[in-house]
Amino acid sequence: MQYRYCGRSGVQLPMLSLGLWHNFGSVDSYDTACAMILRAFDAGICHFDLANNYGPEPGSAEKNFGKILRDHLQSHRDELFITTKAGHAMWAGVYGEGSSRKNLIASCDQSLRRMGLEYVDVFYSHRYDGITPIEETMQALVDIVRSGKALYAGISKYPPELQEQCYSYLAAHDVPCLLSQYPANMFKRGSIAHTENSNLAIAARNGSGFVCFSPLAQGLLTPKYLHGIPENSRAARATGFLKLEQVTEERIWAAQQLSKIAEERGQTLPQMALAWLLTDSRVTSVIIGASSVAQLEDNLQTLNRLDFCDEELARIDCVLDKQGLAM
């Protein structure tokens, strides 16, 4: 595994991290979930990304992760970097979602109980809810860190016009934002664009690390959908977040073209799509998802070929510039 520093901090993360959004819930195979976590850890993936609502049912990914930790990794806590978040719908009533202090403080306590942990490494505000003042949310993060329930604070999906405010508030309270988490993949390039006001540029200027989520566009940047919708894939499952209508002809065409370039590089499409995100050194890590150990093994091979020549990058851009690909 190779590691990168999170912005202006002394903390390193593996260039590939594992997220537990799908495939780790109570509706999924516990044995497969366990095998993926243990294989990831053995391969040097020490960063595991969770959120209070991951499942389904909501909370069950944290519960399963806690059980795996207890049963297999108990003596390794100091080698692990565990993150969780709050902000999306989690429990009934007006306090069960959003970015209020009320939601964040209760959520953090619940997450720690579910995972059986004394602290998480990063506690994130999962989203800006459009109403809660930034000061209220950021002060809740500061207090969670001060209470020892998280070592660092993070933000996810905050719009560019609010990012700076978050970083300033946290820094002024001596809890600099360690990580900013945004969607980024070949079909969704806005957050990592080479412009002054992309989420990545703002994070980097403010010393925050940057992690990309859904780097394979939930599976669209793999050979999985090239010949229809396979049974049990995310798009086929009722509990999957990838909707059938997102598997468009344009995206399948692009995946075919990109597969050819990947093949010429001696890589699979997912390996090339992950390596492509890591070409920008300001990206600390990409958080992958997986539904099997085989997928994880495939993705781990990414690190064997990270370099791109200008011609390859130009050919990739040429495919990605076609209309109708953006997600």
Ligand X SMILES: NC(=O)c1ccc[n+]([C@@H]2O[C@H](COP(=O)([O-])OP(=O)(O)OC[C@H]3O[C@@H](n4cnc5c(N)ncnc54)[C@H](OP(=O)(O)O)[C@@H]3O)[C@@H](O)[C@H]2O)c1
**Gap between the Cα atoms of 65 and 116, Å rounded:** 9
Is 106:135 a contact under the CB 8 Å cutoff?
Answer: no
Among 291, 302, 316, 325, interactor with ligand X by CB under 6 A: 291
**Gap between the Cα atoms of 10 and 17, Å rounded:** 18
- In this chain, which stretch among 135-143, 147-155, 199-207, 295-303 interacts with ligand X, using CB under 6 A? 295-303
Cα dihedral sign, 183-142-130-100: positive
Identify the helix (H) or strand (E) that includes residue 279.
none
Cα dihedral sign, 215-57-151-300: negative
- Phi-psi region for residue 232, left (φ > 0), alpha (ψ -120 to 50) or beta? left
Output the smallest distance, CB 310 to ligand X, in A.
Answer: 26
For the chain, what percentages of helix, strand and coil (3-state, to nearest 5) are there?
45, 15, 40
Residue 289 is a binding residue for ligand X (CB under 6 A):
yes
- Widest Cα–Cα separation across the chain: 54
- In this chain, which stretch among 62-70, 107-115, 216-224, 258-266 interacts with ligand X, using CB under 6 A? 216-224
Residue 181 is a binding residue for ligand X (CB under 6 A):
yes
**Gap between the Cα atoms of 280 and 283, Å rounded:** 6
- In this chain, which stretch among 13-21, 97-105, 161-169, 191-199 interacts with ligand X, using CB under 6 A? 13-21
Size of the site for ligand X (CB under 6 A): 30
Among 186, 192, 215, 247, interactor with ligand X by CB under 6 A: 215
Output the smallest distance, CB 23 to ligand X, in A.
Answer: 6
Of 76, 71, 147, the C-alpha closest to 112 is: 147
Phi/psi for 157 (5° steps) reads 60, 15
Residue 288 is a binding residue for ligand X (CB under 6 A):
yes
Residue type, 154: G
Task: Select 22 or 63, whichever has its Cβ closest to ligand X.
Answer: 22
Pairing mode, strands 12-14 and 3-5: antiparallel
Among 270, 278, 303, 325, interactor with ligand X by CB under 6 A: 270
- In this chain, which stretch among 96-104, 130-138, 168-176, 284-292 interacts with ligand X, using CB under 6 A? 284-292
Among 152, 210, 213, 276, interactor with ligand X by CB under 6 A: 213
- In this chain, which stretch among 115-123, 163-171, 293-301, 302-310 interacts with ligand X, using CB under 6 A? 293-301
Output the smallest distance, CB 274 to ligand X, in A.
Answer: 8
- Bridge partners, 82 (sequence order): 48
- In this chain, which stretch among 19-27, 72-80, 104-112, 251-259 interacts with ligand X, using CB under 6 A? 19-27
Residue 224 is a binding residue for ligand X (CB under 6 A):
yes
Residue 7 is a binding residue for ligand X (CB under 6 A):
no
Please give the DSSP secondary-structure letter assigned to residue 224: G
Residue 121 is a binding residue for ligand X (CB under 6 A):
no
CA 129 to chain centroid, in Å, comes to 19
Which residues within the stretch 138-177 sit at the binding site for ligand X (CB under 6 A)?
A: 156-157
Which positions touch ligand X (CB under 6 A)?
A: 19-23, 49, 126, 156-157, 181, 213-219, 222, 224, 233-234, 270, 287-291, 295, 298-299
